[in-house]
Structure 1
């Protein structure tokens, strides 16, 4: 997907760093583009992958000088992670700072585009990351329960999952085992609890990630931690869960002091492409800069809601707010996958509200409901996914299965949308 053409000159840099891929573009009203040959950058916002392109000719083929220019200069100055060198007989893909190609293809027949397209598609599949925000404007509807269980089910399928906790209540961080929940539970005095909380002051987490992600030497690994659930995943699987945690430090942070404050998370996640298959974002139920970061960073939105009057009424707000982001991003962000009825039961009020939701939001898919059960409460109390609870308590099997099925339906919905778009 071509998002931007005609790169402006950078202050203090000569034009020699620009990629040599050129194309004629017609004049576009309001943009200032004219019909001429321009340099350009390809940004694929649906996959979190951007490329700088440099095209060589049959007479001036790819050589070591061109390789050095691409990975050491062009990528460095443009802050783009991947670059492509191409001539009629060879394609090489480089990653910033890496002298060896990430992937390459020798072109046997320059007139046959199919092998080249297949090569690019396979490469894109190795680096794309799907970002899903679990978002609602009503608290207490099971949002974090959905985040934790989805992350675990995705990891069970062999996916590398990153959970981003944007909520200062840090329930996802606690549930995933990185906020010392067990230590807090075992603390015998207020002083011990205060000492544990004080240890978060020195920890690099969400706020530091947002502050530092624009730095040239930014290393995301300093801010991300493995979940304690990883030890329960089957040996030999590639599946894992990491978390960018939150804590009480998140609540008072003045993001407006940072450039592009509501897009800092999106900027940081650009540095992680290729490291994870899915990013699941737990957003706060209130609207502030932190919440907007989650929405702007998310390709997809899932709205959980209990089938009660106040919760169902709260569905309107995220639908309205995400529409703004879709318009600003030209439909590359905040696509609503659907609504998840949470903690449902067989009461008349639940059934009535569910029918009302289906009628009111008839153009938005309604996923299968997550039923209110004692096993759901027990798993939440133990801060473990339902699948883990079911391993030692067979009675929880049905509840675990409904969460696994829901996760699969969400993945299928994404696959369908991306197939329709040709992604």
Structure 2
């Protein structure tokens, strides 16, 4: 049965999509069966994986899945061996009103995914940077939350928003939801600020697991612009090694519990 992990942070620009894409590839490279789900109306994950083919999926995407216009098996795209995708689409924003007004709206994704969870080891969900029905569905469905964090002042302060939301979800729709860890992202040693913020983060949230730090990397930006994972673009580089280490860490944490 799949372990479902939401990659989430209500602050934008922290690298959620980059983390989802490359962690998915890293887990698949380790032989794990991985399903990626893009519930962000900006569809960056989908575009990064299938490019302009995103236009083909008007009638079979996460939005049509949530409105019950398509079955889950109809929405799954094979990216490569061990790595599949349920895409987002340009029309996802239009579906939001219909989903909000539907019965049992916060459990639409959970119910839709149930038939295929035995087919995967990991399901990773890329979320929008806002607290709306898509993020609520994602967290209600998930076993764990993985929070990418840019080590800026506002990034660290914004952590409390995520913890407040997780507390609400645990009280209302998913009491089993747990924090898998925080992933410091876009880390650079060129200034003292990230190192200072990392120290503050540890002091403010001593019980929050801090996972592998992902370095700031031009290679990551170039890889994503070309529709490639970091392993395909620069498999021996620092960023690729960091994502492989993160994948091993996630596997160890999940399978130990």
Q: Which runs of 4+ in 1 moved over 6 A?
A: none
Please, which of 54, 63, 83 is the counterpart of residue 241 of structure 1?
Answer: 83
Q: Deviations over 1:114-169 (max 9, x none)?
A: xxxxxxxxxxxxxx110000000111111100000011011111111111100011
Who wins on radius of gyration, i.e. which is larger? 1
2:130 corresponds to which residue? Answer: 286
Larger helix percent: 2
Higher relative contact order (CA 8 A, sep 6+): 2
What SS does structure 2 have at the residue aligned with 1:177?
helix
Matched-pair contact (CA < 8 Å) for 1:173–1:179: no
1:400 corresponds to which residue? Answer: 240
**Distance (Å, rounded) in 2 between the aligned partners of 1:257 and 1:135:** 24
**Distance (Å, rounded) in 1 between the aligned partners of 2:52 and 2:155:** 28
Please, which of 400, 409, 412 is the counterpart of residue 249 of structure 2?
Answer: 409
What SS does structure 2 have at the residue aligned with 1:370?
coil
**Distance (Å, rounded) in 2 between the aligned partners of 1:299 and 1:293:** 12
**Distance (Å, rounded) in 2 between the aligned partners of 1:411 and 1:383:** 25
1:345 corresponds to which residue? Answer: 188
**Distance (Å, rounded) in 1 between the aligned partners of 2:173 and 2:130:** 22
Larger strand percent: 1
Unpaired runs of 5+ in structure 2?
none
Q: How does 1:19-418 map to 2 (within 5 A)?
A: 128-177=1-50, 179-180=52-53, 197=55, 199-201=56-58, 203-212=59-68, 219-227=71-79, 230=80, 239-253=81-95, 254=97, 255-329=99-173, 331-332=175-176, 334-346=177-189, 347-391=191-235, 396-416=236-256, 418=257
Matched-pair contact (CA < 8 Å) for 1:339–1:365: yes
Normalising by structure 1, report the TM-score. 0.57
Instruction: Please state how far the C-alpha of 1:200 moved relative to its aligned partner.
Output: 4.6
Instruction: Please state how far the C-alpha of 1:313 moved relative to its aligned partner.
Output: 1.6
Matched-pair contact (CA < 8 Å) for 2:140–2:174: no
What SS does structure 2 have at the residue aligned with 1:136?
coil
**Distance (Å, rounded) in 2 between the aligned partners of 1:284 and 1:400:** 24
**Distance (Å, rounded) in 1 between the aligned partners of 2:74 and 2:174:** 33
**Distance (Å, rounded) in 2 between the aligned partners of 1:316 and 1:407:** 25
Shift of the 250–312 alpha-carbon distance from structure 1 to 2, 3 Å rule, reads: same
What SS does structure 2 have at the residue aligned with 1:301?
strand
**Distance (Å, rounded) in 1 between the aligned partners of 2:41 and 2:172:** 27
Normalising by structure 2, report the TM-score. 0.93
Instruction: Please state how far the C-alpha of 1:324 moved relative to its aligned partner.
Output: 1.6
**Distance (Å, rounded) in 1 between the aligned partners of 2:66 and 2:116:** 13
What SS does structure 2 have at the residue aligned with 1:339?
strand
Instruction: Please state how far the C-alpha of 1:383 moved relative to its aligned partner.
Output: 2.4
Q: Tell which deviates more after alignment, 154-163 or 171-180.
A: 171-180
Instruction: Please state how far the C-alpha of 1:252 moved relative to its aligned partner.
Output: 2.9
**Distance (Å, rounded) in 1 between the aligned partners of 2:212 and 2:29:** 20
Unpaired runs of 5+ in structure 1?
1-127, 182-196, 231-238, 419-423
Q: Deviations over 1:20-57 (max 9, x none)?
A: xxxxxxxxxxxxxxxxxxxxxxxxxxxxxxxxxxxxxx
Matched-pair contact (CA < 8 Å) for 1:178–1:245: no
Q: Deviations over 1:387-412 (max 9, x none)?
A: 11125xxxx52221111001111221
Q: Deviations over 1:239-295 (max 9, x none)?
A: 511111111211132112221111100111111121111100001110111110111
Shift of the 397–170 alpha-carbon distance from structure 1 to 2, 3 Å rule, reads: same
